[in-house]
Amino acid sequence: MRVFFIGFGQAGGKIVDMFLAQDKKLGSTSFRGIVINTARTDLMGVKYIPMEDRLLIGQTMVKGHGVGTDNVTGAKVAADEIDTIINAIDKRGTHDVDAFVVCAGLGGGTGSGGAPVLCRHLKRIYREPVYALGIIPAPEEGRLYSLNAARSLSTLVNEADNVIVFDNSAWKNDGESVKSAFDRLNEEIVRRFGVLFRAGEVNKFGVGEMVVDSSEIINTLRGGGISSVGYAISEAIPKGGRSSSKSGGGLLGGLLGKKDKRQEPHIDITSSEDKSAKIIGLVRRAMLGRLTLPCDYSTAERALVLVAGPPTELDRKGVEKSKSWVEENIAGVEVRGGDYPVDSGYVAAVVLLATIGNAPRIRELMELAKEAKEEVVRSRERATSSMFEDGIDPLFE
């Protein structure tokens, strides 16, 4: 799948930077992208995106200093400079892309306000689907961030073809520093979507028996709303076995997991039934484990199942049984799936749950935002009351 990433704001820019770094490391050309910000210093923080693909907007309004967590201003700046943004996207080349993905942290100002504006105009101009990858803040990050995220997400679901949500609170570990947490969370995002978007690529193993191409992903996400992604990984061989890859990791070894350092060729002693059971177990772990957005998976309208790993460990029957199990456990009946052979010592399962009907974390976010809005109103009322006595004439009117 050829994806054009647009990183809006600091969080979105860092994620796109990591996607392009992964693409460069793998020697692939599947991904391209630009980053957009109102703060000059944030644009300097990315490493793998050329300077010509870093766009500073809002200079006449905020002079390169950012919008200060004000997503209303962020939206206004994006709307005022939308022609500049579209020109930068066109200059990078869009004739062969399969989809646009706008990445943004929804709790801040620039990405939170600008992403919905950009999605609206991209949908108006291009025929390709426009998806948003939105990161929602943890409650402890502050009520202002929750209010921003709620307003942005409520707008995004109407402007993007689908919003894939990543919840920081579900992934942050106790006692972890903010920087290390965000770096790790960004890696989790890129790993999951890197596997998903690369499915169907032709490598030295050819393609899978059941190919998952861009049309499968597009049809899964076509219902709109919000979506979540599950992921599980396992060693490709049981303990006491041998590495399934002479290279110990190969092209996508780093994508699926830690490289296997053993160098001997693999002796395939695993039966078809064992492979099938292993794949079914992986898919169950991916769907029932930690999702990018904790949700009631039984309310999903559509799903996509992808199993990636060395060809000797992939099993058609296992993928088909996994799809049947997922279909039994979601609200809808559309479950697509397939396999993706890669050079790795690991097997990974990705489950995309699309158009989710119930996510308690989103309800909690909306409640926090409602409380924050009421507090803002009360604060304004307090500000209007004066400590100074009436009846004292000012020096001038």
Q: Does residue 260 form part of some domain?
A: yes
8 A C-beta contact, residue 132 and residue 149: no
Q: How many CA atoms lie within 13 A of 325 on its CB side?
A: 20
For residue 392, is it within any domain? Answer: no
Average pLDDT over residues 105-120: 97
What is the predicted pLDDT for the residue at 254?
58
CA-based diameter of the chain, in Å? 94
Residue 372 falls within a domain, yes or no?
Answer: no
Q: What pLDDT score was predicted for residue 271?
A: 64
Over residues 202-230, the mean pLDDT reads 86
Please tell me whether 12 is known to bind a ligand: yes
- Domain assignment of residue 55, yes or no: yes
For residue 13, say whether it is annotated as part of any ligand binding site: yes
Q: What is the CATH number of the domain that holds 313?
A: 3.30.1330.20
Q: Which two tokens stand for residue 156?
A: 């995004």
Asked if 310 contacts 216 with a C-beta cutoff of 8 angstroms, the reply is no
Q: Which residue has the tokens 């097997």?
A: 347
DSSP conformation letters of 319-368: HHHHHHHHHHHSSSSEEEEEEEE-S-SEEEEEEEEES-S--HHHHHHHHH
d(CA 357, CA 340): 29
CB 129 within 8 A of CB 218: yes
β-strand pairing of 346-354 with 226-235: antiparallel
What pLDDT score does 158 carry?
96
Question: Does residue 331 lie in a domain region?
Answer: yes
pLDDT surpassing 60 at residue 75: yes
- What amino acid occupies position 131? Y
Is 186 annotated as ligand-binding?
A: yes
Summarize the confidence of residues 273-290 as an average pLDDT: 93
Domain assignment of residue 177, yes or no: yes
The angle that helices 9-25 and 178-198 make with each other, rounded to 10 degrees, is 50
**160 close to 130: Cβ distance less than 8 angstroms:** yes
Structurally, the chain folds into a number of domains equal to: 2
pTM, entire model: 0.89
Backbone angles phi, psi at 208, to 5 degrees: -70, 170
- Is the domain of 312 the same as that of 164? no
How far, in Å, CA of 281 to CA of 165, rounded?
25
Same domain, 294 and 189: no
pLDDT at 260 over 60: no
Determine the structural domain holding residue 349 and report its residue range. 225-354
- Kindly state whether residues 38 and 185 are assigned to the same domain: yes
Position 298 in a domain? yes
The answer to whether residues 181 and 54 belong to one domain is yes
- Asked, for residue 389, whether it belongs to a domain, the answer is no
Q: Is 14 annotated as a binding residue?
A: yes
| Whether 161 and 46 share a structural domain | yes
Determine the 3-state secondary structure of 394 from DSSP: coil
The reply to whether 188 and 242 lie within a common domain is no
pLDDT in the model for residue 237: 61
Q: What is the pLDDT of residues 126-185, one digit of tens each?
A: 999 999 999 999 888 888 999 999 999 999 999 999 999 999 988 888 777 767 788 889
Q: Are residues 263 and 158 in the same domain?
A: no
Higher pLDDT, 66 or 26: 66
132 and 31 in a single domain? The answer is: yes
110 annotated to a ligand binding site: yes
**Tokens representing 53?**
């693909």
Find out whether 71 is annotated in a ligand binding site. Answer: no
Same domain, 35 and 178: yes
Mean pLDDT value across the chain: 87
Strands 334-341 and 346-354 turn out to be unpaired
| Same domain for 144 and 12 | yes
Bridge partners (DSSP) of residue 73 are none
Is 9 annotated in some ligand binding site?
Answer: no
Among 146-150, 255-259, 369-373, whose mean pLDDT is lowest? 255-259
The span from the CA of 191 to the CA of 255, in Å, is 6
Question: Same domain, yes or no, for 193 and 231?
Answer: no
What is the end-to-end Cα distance of the chain in Å, rounded?
64
Q: Tell me, yes or no, whether 253 and 178 share the same domain.
A: no
Mean pLDDT of 277-290: 94
* Inter-CA distances, 126 with 33, 95, 98, 115, 215, Å: 16, 10, 11, 16, 17
Per the structure block, which two tokens stand in for 271?
């039966």
Q: What is the CATH number of the domain that holds 29?
A: 3.40.50.1440
